[in-house]
Structure 1
Amino acid sequence: MALEAVLAIPVLMFAVGVVGNVTAIAVLSRTKRERKESAFYTLVCGLAVTDLLGTCLASPITIATVLQSPWPEALCEFHSFLLLFFGVAGLSIICTMSAERYLAISHPYTYKRWAVDQHVARWCLFAIYAGNVLFCCLPLLGFSRSIRQPPYTWCFIDWRSRIPLHVFYSFLYAGISSLLILVTIACNVALCWTLLVMRQRIGKLVPRASIKKHWRERSSGVEIQMMLLLIVTSLVVLVCSTPLVVRIFVNQRWLVNDWDADLQAIRFASVNPILDPWVYILLRRTVFHKVLSLSKRVMRGRAKSILPAGPRPTAQYLMEKNCATPLVLSTELLGRVYLDDTPSTTGAISHVEEKE
């Protein structure tokens, strides 16, 4: 295979990862002040910085080793450490973000009592970095060893070793990664369920049709955005992280030699920091509302195209022409009043009649 073809994939992944994460950090820097002071914003910043560092540190080593084949042992150990650390660190931050959102929405009183803010989020990031550095340094202390993996362009732990301590570390790393994935999915599913339950309860507890309509208009977009973000997050975590975890379990348990599957798994894991900024930053509220309004316009245009031809009601015609008369306005007000089940209906009707 030509050298240009071998270099194409790592160079492309490096360029897209750097551009995406730099764009994400630039977008975050322009966020409003009240959002910057939130715990979620701090965790998103930590994720963007982590992904950028991982891309800038790991990808150049891969590109350099393709150009010059010999691997110094220290460089191989360092590359293996980078893949281990940034893989589990990204999962840890994503899991923390999901847990923070679940706690804020499902248990707001506990969230307020614990005073979860940007300072707590910074301590969480510090704990994640410190804990993962110690955990990923264990191979240097003899818990495992780093070897070159075919096609000898990357280094990783020896996941086919028969040494008990090495086997233990492989299963420990895969088990912790699996736990982070499961907790992330569980928090996302629980949060979606909480939002659905909240929507149903508000619809039952609030009798006024105008209030219910106002709440739906204000919250439906936020709910859809939140659920879309969580679903995409879950898919990214599953698609990018699961193959490598599965390969660790399979290689260490059955000692198979499927080099192509190993290479594809590490490439999928490397795509994770490339997709994260687009999921967490570019799917922010402003972009989402623009896409949502555009889709509503398209759907409205389709609905108008399938309406039967014929005379339109006078009220609808006047509303479309922006020339609503007092009669139309009174009809709208009376319609809202009659939908009201509260004891103040009679007073509201008399008030409308006086205006007419």
Structure 2
Amino acid sequence: MPPQNFTHGPVSTNETQINALPIFMFAGGAIGNLIAIIVLSVSRQERKSSAFYTLVCGLAVTDLLGTCLASPLTIANFLDPNVLKDQRLCEFHSFLLLFFGLTGLSIICAMAAERYLAICCPYTYERWRVNRRFAQKFLFFIYISHIFFCCLPAMGMSRSEVQRSGTWCFINWGKHEPVPASYSVMYGVVSLLLILGTIVLNLAVCGALLLMRQRTAQRPVTRASVRQRWRALSSAAETQMIAVLVTTSVVVLACSAPLVVRLFANLMMNKYPDADLAAIRIASVNPILDPWIYILLRRSLFRRLLRLSRRGRSTRRSSSPATQRNLFHPELMRESHVFTQLMCNANIMTQLDFVSELLSVGRKDCDVSVDPQLDRTLRVTEILFIK
């Protein structure tokens, strides 16, 4: 029988190519996740302290650990086909595939739940104090519970065995004995619930955002709505989080779903080793693709994309009411950059409260010495938000 490749079946071509492929996959997953962790670590403090980016970093660390633990066994089995014939190593390899597959789905579902609470249930979000520490505790709970659940086959609830290709180990998901079949069903049901929960939560979050944008666009601009308008205009960070969440969810679910389907298929019909091999191939690509989502959708690049999209919209709206209002207030075109720079400061909400107070009392009646730059901002704010 010709030598086998890590999730790539029988290969009868050049031996150098055979040995190089799992090494390249290992290097791609390890280097990509290391870069992603560095990118997340050097982000701004408010992002590092948020629960969402703590979960994102947890997913990157999980992918890195999965790559560094599972790939060396695969490479060693390439060099010596008898490596996985050791029952202990086979059970360990099966545990790694079970654990990291289920943990990735759980973290993605937790990210979707965090965004759902933050956007759709803000009072619950604040009452539960969902922050970085809360996310760290939840990650710890995921790891401990999944370690116990994925160790059940080694405790006798199922049995791990080398699959037909001879390159990977997994639970004996083809037998219809009550105990092994029950564990396969349990694992498949938990994975399926996590997939469905992620899809439902993502749809709910996207629907809520679209509804909020529609209501904000239809709301008339008044003095009392300055704060609400700013919150609507400052949603770039929220939009970036949703982009990261949805893109990562699509990748993880697309890579994990085939393996879950094969779990149920092997219990209901005869085994198809080629289909099982294809499912584990797809799952092995997930740790390689995930980190590039965090790298490519980082804040700076996302802002550039938003600027390009806004420029495209502004050129198409040359005859819109907003443009006509600028014709009556040419000073807005000269001083809008001051407003933009001030709005990007970390204490933006404090400045807006002060602006609202000045506007409500009246600038002439307010005995406060205003900084020249803030005074220019007041005039621009009056033009923007007051008819």
Band of TM-score, shorter chain: 0.7 to 0.9
- 1:75 alignment partner, one of 68, 78, 89: 89
Deviation at 1:12, TM superposition (A): 2.0
Q: 1:225 to 1:31 in 2, by over 3 A?
A: closer
TM-score by length of 2: 0.74
SS of the residue corresponding to residue 97 of structure 2 reads helix
CA distance in 2, matches of 1:297, 1:329: 19
Q: What is the letter of the counterpart of residue 196 of structure 1?
A: L
Give matches, 1:130-279, under 5 Å: 130-208=144-222, 217-219=233-235, 221-222=236-237, 224-256=239-271, 258-279=272-293
Paired residues of 1:40 and 1:101 also in contact (CA < 8 A): yes
> Aligned equivalents of 1:9 and 1:208: distance in 2?
62
Partner SS, residue 112 of structure 1 = helix
* Paired residues of 2:105 and 2:253 also in contact (CA < 8 A): no
- Residues 8-37 of structure 1: per-residue CA shift (max 9 Å, x gap): 432222111011100011112212222222
Q: Who is 1:34 aligned against?
A: 46
Q: Is contact 2:104-2:252 (8 Å) kept?
A: no
1:105 equivalent in alignment to 2:114: no
The counterpart of 1:12, out of the listed 1, 17, 24, is 24
Query: What residue is the counterpart of 2:376 in the other structure?
Result: none
| Counterpart AA for 1:26 | I
8 Å CA contact 1:195, 1:223 repeated in 2: no
Contact 2:108/2:249 (CA < 8 Å) preserved in 1?
Answer: no
1:329 deviation in Å?
2.6
Provide the rounded CA distance (Å) in 2 between the counterparts of 1:295 and 1:203: 18
SS class of match (1:150): coil
Pairing 1:296-335 to 2, within 5 Å after superposition = 329=330
Deviation at 1:189, TM superposition (A): 0.7
CA distance in structure 1 between the partners assigned to 2:95 and 2:242 by the alignment: 34
Q: Check the 8 A contact 1:24/1:282 in 2, yes or no.
A: no
Question: Are the counterparts in 1 of residues 216 and 229 from structure 2 also a CA contact under 8 Å?
Answer: no
CA distance in 1 between counterparts of 2:283 and 2:155 reads 25
Q: Is 1:49 aligned with 2:61?
A: yes
Deviation at 1:215, TM superposition (A): 6.0
Query: Shift in Å at residue 176 of structure 1?
Result: 0.5
CA gap of 1:328–1:193, structure 2 versus 1, over 3 A, is closer
Counterpart-to-counterpart distance in 2, 1:156 and 1:197: 45
Kindly provide the amino acid, as one letter, of the partner of residue 329 in structure 1. P
Secondary structure in structure 1 of the residue aligned to 2:175: coil
Q: Counterpart of 1:195 in structure 2: which amino acid?
A: L
% identity of equivalent residues: 53
Q: CA deviation at 1:214?
A: 6.0
Structure 1 residues not aligned, in runs of 5+: 308-315, 333-347
Which secondary structure does the structure 2 equivalent of 1:151 belong to?
coil
Task: Map Cα deviations across residues 112-163 of structure 1 (whole Å, 9 max, x no partner).
Answer: 0111112211111111001000000000111111111132111001110121
**1:289 corresponding residue in structure 2:** 303
Match of 1:23 among 35, 39, 43: 35
C-alpha distance in structure 2 between counterparts of 1:272 and 1:13, whole Å: 11
Aligned to 1:87: 101
**Once the 2 structures are TM-superposed, how far is the Cα of residue 223 of structure 1 from its aligned partner?**
5.5
When residues 131 and 153 of structure 1 are mapped into structure 2, their CA distance, relative to the original with a 3 A threshold, is same
Residues 148, 156 of structure 1: 8 Å contact kept: yes
Structure 1 residues 150 and 128, CA, compared in 2 at 3 Å: closer, same or farther? Answer: same
One-letter code of the match for 1:9? L
In structure 2, C-alpha distance between the alignment counterparts of 1:226 and 1:161, rounded to whole Å: 43
TM-score after normalising by structure 1:
0.80
Distance 1:223 1:196, change over 3 A: farther
Segments of structure 2 that go 5 or more residues without pairing to the other structure are 1-11, 334-378
Give the partner amino acid of 2:178.
P
Write out per-residue CA displacement over residues 242-263 of structure 1, whole angstroms, 9 at most, x where no aligned residue: 000001111121122x222211
Give 1:248's aligned amino acid. L
| CA separation of 1:289 and 1:151: change in aligned 2, threshold 3 A | same
The answer to whether the 8 Å contact 2:158/2:180 transfers is yes
Which amino acid letter does the alignment assign opposite residue 35 of structure 1? R
Secondary structure (helix, strand or coil) at the match of 1:143 reads: coil
Q: Is the 8 A contact 2:109 2:195 kept in 1?
A: yes
Where 1:31 maps in the other structure, the secondary structure is coil
Structure 2 SS opposite 1:135: helix
- Structure 1 residue identity aligned to 2:182: F
Q: Does the 8 Å contact 1:14/1:59 carry over to 2?
A: yes
